[in-house]
């Protein structure tokens, strides 16, 4: 094996940036592969072109952090090999397969830090595939990167900290927010009070979004269940249940999501062992507190190793890099490592409370009509999935995919597997932990058939 292979970092959000910074400080020259076109990741995503908006316009209370991370990364550029707009779509043994400039490249590695982040966790309801329905993350990206809103009059729906953050960002940018519809009861928010001891600043900021939304006249409703998107060709409104009553609200776009789900396909392809995580309701790669996985030389950092947020991602990025350095035989400051581990535990404690304040909606499918599409890529309905489960007495997720086609399309289950798991577990009265997980298959995202050999 070649001893001189540089370490590779996949992803350039807060975790990837901090990992790169730590490796460079130790005298290493990492390769940083970023699907984005400028470093920052999802949370600190930068516009395509400078459009005069300030860091505060873009990142609000997190402007200082965003500015610092961007500046730090830009300062690293002479000391790293940065590949923006590059998609790692497969890991085969100790080789990364990626697409950059429309060409295929292979990069060998000995040490790899995966900081692949997360996407919105979504659940189907009637009309969710209509044009005009976006995830909260997509609504935020439109604003940050392209400087536009997803509609003139937007309803924000779901659960999770992003719900209030993005709604407030829209209001602040001059957008019209028709309503914020929270699927959790107001009482859940009282859990935030116990988060004070972990991070009072974050709690205050979080609560202030709701207060500021109200002060701008935005209606917030709790304990809501959407019944359908109104409109036949595009979004014209949203009907929802609050208590026993069904209400309708006019809007031309809907942003929704239920917290985040980690992107773990590359960890899976690299052979990492997984465990079921009750809090994230999904399977996560097994890591130690520094981010070491069961695969030699593979480290995880950021939300891709379990949802913990941007500040935790900075910590876990540095930790993973320090672990990598340590495992390569160089001494690292043990005090620094244990301080980071402690800080990471505190963030995990905070995350436990956030999960209670923004809970996943229970029994979602009790009120979802069978004709609702569950898998939008393959157009598989909820009733088809349930019939397939019952017809074959299915108890395993990959089997459900094979027999129902759900999860077989362009997204390979990235968008619908949470819903598939919920339906399977509810229909068969099985725990989510007991129905298996979809095995990752390359490519993790679609590739052009014309992909040509580039080089290594």
Partner 1 sequence: MIRRFSADVAIVGGGLVGSSAALALRKAGLSVILMDKGFCGAQASGVNYGGVRRQGRSVAQLPLSQRAHQIWPRLKELIGIDGEYQRSGHLKLARKPEDFARLEQYAETVKPFGLNLELFTGAMAKTRFPWLSGNVAGASFCPDDGQANPRLVSPAFAKAARDAGAIVLEQTAVHAAVRTSDGFALQAGTDCEITCHFLINSAGAWANKIATDFDEPAPLSRIYPSMVVTEPLALRLPVSLGEEGGGFYCRQVQRGNYIMGGGRGYALIDPDFSRPSTAAALAVMKRATTLFPHLAGAHVIRFWSGTEGQLPDNNPVIGRSGTTPGLFHAFGFCGAGFQVAPAVGAILCDLVTSGETATPIAAFSIERFHNMPPQHNKKKGTHNEMVE
Among 247, 409, 428, 433, the residue binding partner 1 under the rule CB under 8 A is: 409
CB-based contacts of 25, cutoff 8 Å, min separation 6: none
Q: Is 396 in the site for partner 1 (CB under 8 A)?
A: yes
Q: Is 25 in the site for partner 1 (CB under 8 A)?
A: no
DSSP 153-175: EEEEEEESHHHHHHHHHHHHTT-
Counting residues that bind partner 1 (by CB under 8 A) gives 28
Q: Is 131 in the site for partner 1 (CB under 8 A)?
A: no
CB neighbours of residue 434 within 10 Å: 12
Contact 129, 373 (CB under 8 A): yes
Q: Is 450 in the site for partner 1 (CB under 8 A)?
A: yes
Q: Is 447 in the site for partner 1 (CB under 8 A)?
A: yes
- The residue range among 24-32, 48-56, 172-180, 441-449 that interacts with partner 1, by the rule CB under 8 A, is 441-449
Q: Is 433 in the site for partner 1 (CB under 8 A)?
A: no
Q: Is 448 in the site for partner 1 (CB under 8 A)?
A: yes
Among 22, 42, 90, 140, the residue binding partner 1 under the rule CB under 8 A is: 90
Contact 317, 69 (CB under 8 A): no
- The residue range among 119-127, 329-337, 346-354, 390-398 that interacts with partner 1, by the rule CB under 8 A, is 390-398
Q: Which among 197, 195, 258 is positioned nearest to 226, based on CA atoms?
A: 258
Distance of closest approach, residue 305 Cβ to partner 1, in angstroms: 22
- The residue range among 65-73, 157-165, 174-182, 408-416 that interacts with partner 1, by the rule CB under 8 A, is 408-416
Q: Is 408 in the site for partner 1 (CB under 8 A)?
A: yes
For residues 266 to 295, the per-residue mask of contacts with partner 1, x marking binding by CB under 8 A and - elsewhere, is -----x------------------------
Contact 181, 157 (CB under 8 A): yes
Bridge partners of 285? Answer: 274
Among 412, 417, 425, 427, the residue binding partner 1 under the rule CB under 8 A is: 412
Q: Is 1 in the site for partner 1 (CB under 8 A)?
A: no
- The residue range among 124-132, 245-253, 421-429, 448-456 that interacts with partner 1, by the rule CB under 8 A, is 448-456
The two structure tokens encoding residue 79? 């000391």
The helix (H) or strand (E) run that includes residue 256 is strand 253-258
- The residue range among 77-85, 115-123, 312-320, 439-447 that interacts with partner 1, by the rule CB under 8 A, is 439-447
Q: Which is nearer to partner 1, 77 or 92 (CB)?
A: 92
The two structure tokens encoding residue 235? 């979004």
Q: Which is nearer to partner 1, 217 or 448 (CB)?
A: 448
Distance of closest approach, residue 18 Cβ to partner 1, in angstroms: 31
Q: Which among 426, 444, 379, 369 is positioned nearest to 405, based on CA atoms?
A: 379
User: CA-to-CA distance for 111 and 218, rounded, in angstroms?
Assistant: 49
H helices of 158-309, in order, are 161-172, 186-189, 200-215, 265-269
Pairing of strands 220-221, 176-182: parallel
Contact 78, 291 (CB under 8 A): no
Q: Is 5 in the site for partner 1 (CB under 8 A)?
A: no
Among 249, 430, 433, 442, the residue binding partner 1 under the rule CB under 8 A is: 442
Distance of closest approach, residue 409 Cβ to partner 1, in angstroms: 7
User: Dihedral through CA 241, CA 245, CA 250, CA 251, nearest 10?
Assistant: -10
DSSP 110-160: SSEEE---EEE-----TTTTSTTEEEHHHHHHHHHHHS--S-SEEEEEEES
Q: Which is nearer to partner 1, 60 or 409 (CB)?
A: 409
Q: Is 129 in the site for partner 1 (CB under 8 A)?
A: no
The two structure tokens encoding residue 168? 């407030």
The helix (H) or strand (E) run that includes residue 9 is strand 8-10
Distance of closest approach, residue 442 Cβ to partner 1, in angstroms: 5
Q: Which is nearer to partner 1, 342 or 410 (CB)?
A: 410
Distance of closest approach, residue 33 Cβ to partner 1, in angstroms: 16
Q: Which is nearer to partner 1, 9 or 444 (CB)?
A: 444
Residue with tokens 């208590």: 243
Q: Which among 364, 361, 358 is positioned nearest to 188, based on CA atoms?
A: 358
- The residue range among 197-205, 309-317, 332-340, 405-413 that interacts with partner 1, by the rule CB under 8 A, is 405-413
The two structure tokens encoding residue 197? 């001891």
Among 61, 67, 85, 106, the residue binding partner 1 under the rule CB under 8 A is: 106
Distance of closest approach, residue 344 Cβ to partner 1, in angstroms: 31
Q: How far is CA 109 from CA 30, 246, 350, in A?
A: 11, 56, 35
Residues of this chain that bind partner 1 (CB under 8 A): 90, 92, 97, 104, 106, 271, 378, 391-392, 396, 399, 402-403, 408-410, 412, 441-443, 446-453
């Amino acid at each position: 094996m070649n001893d001189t292979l540089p370490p590779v970092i996949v992803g350039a959000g807060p975790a990837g940036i901090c990992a790169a910074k730590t490796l460079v400080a130790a005298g290493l020259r990492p390769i940083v592969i970023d699907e984005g076109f400028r470093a920052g990741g999802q949370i600190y995503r930068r516009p395509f072109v400078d459009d005069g908006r300030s860091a505060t316009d873009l990142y609000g209370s997190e402007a200082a952090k965003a500015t610092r991370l961007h500046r730090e990364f830009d300062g690293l550029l002479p000391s790293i090999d940065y590949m923006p707009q590059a998609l790692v779509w497969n890991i085969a043994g100790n080789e990364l397969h990626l697409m950059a400039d429309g060409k295929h490249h292979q990069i060998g590695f000995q040490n790899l830090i995966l900081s692949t982040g997360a996407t919105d966790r979504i659940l189907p309801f009637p009309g969710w595939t209509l044009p005009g329905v976006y995830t909260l993350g997509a609504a935020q990206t439109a604003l940050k990167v392209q400087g536009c809103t997803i509609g003139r009059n937007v309803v924000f729906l779901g659960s999770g900290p992003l719900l209030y953050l993005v709604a407030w960002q829209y209001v602040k940018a001059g957008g019209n927010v028709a309503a914020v519809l929270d699927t959790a009861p107001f009482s859940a928010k009282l859990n935030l009070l116990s988060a004070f001891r972990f991070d009072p600043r974050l709690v205050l900021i979080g609560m202030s979004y709701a207060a500021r939304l109200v002060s701008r006249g935005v209606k917030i409703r709790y304990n809501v269940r959407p019944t359908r998107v109104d409109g036949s060709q595009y979004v014209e409104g949203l009907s929802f249940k609050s208590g026993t009553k069904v209400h309708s609200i006019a809007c031309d776009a809907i942003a929704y999501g239920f917290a985040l789900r980690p992107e773990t396909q590359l960890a899976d392809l690299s052979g990492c062992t997984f465990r079921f995580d009750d809090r994230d309701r999904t399977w996560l790669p097994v890591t130690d507190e520094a981010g070491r996985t069961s695969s030699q030389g593979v480290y995880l950092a950021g939300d891709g190793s379990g949802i913990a947020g941007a500040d935790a991602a900075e910590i876990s990025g540095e930790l993973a890099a320090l672990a990598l350095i340590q495992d390569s035989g160089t001494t690292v400051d043990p005090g620094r490592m244990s301080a980071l581990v402690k800080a990471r535990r505190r963030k995990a404690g905070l995350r436990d409370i956030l999960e209670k304040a923004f809970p996943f909606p229970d029994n979602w499918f009790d009120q979802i009509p069978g004709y609702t599409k569950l898998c939008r890529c393959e157009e598989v309905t909820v009733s088809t999935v349930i019939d397939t489960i019952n017809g074959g007495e299915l108890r395993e997720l990959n089997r459900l995919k094979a027999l129902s086609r759900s999860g077989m399309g362009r997204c390979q289950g990235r968008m619908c597997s949470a819903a598939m798991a919920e339906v399977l577990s509810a229909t068969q009265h099985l725990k989510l932990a007991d129905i298996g997980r979809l095995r990752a298959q390359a490519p993790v995202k679609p590739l052009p058939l014309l992909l040509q050999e580039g080089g290594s």
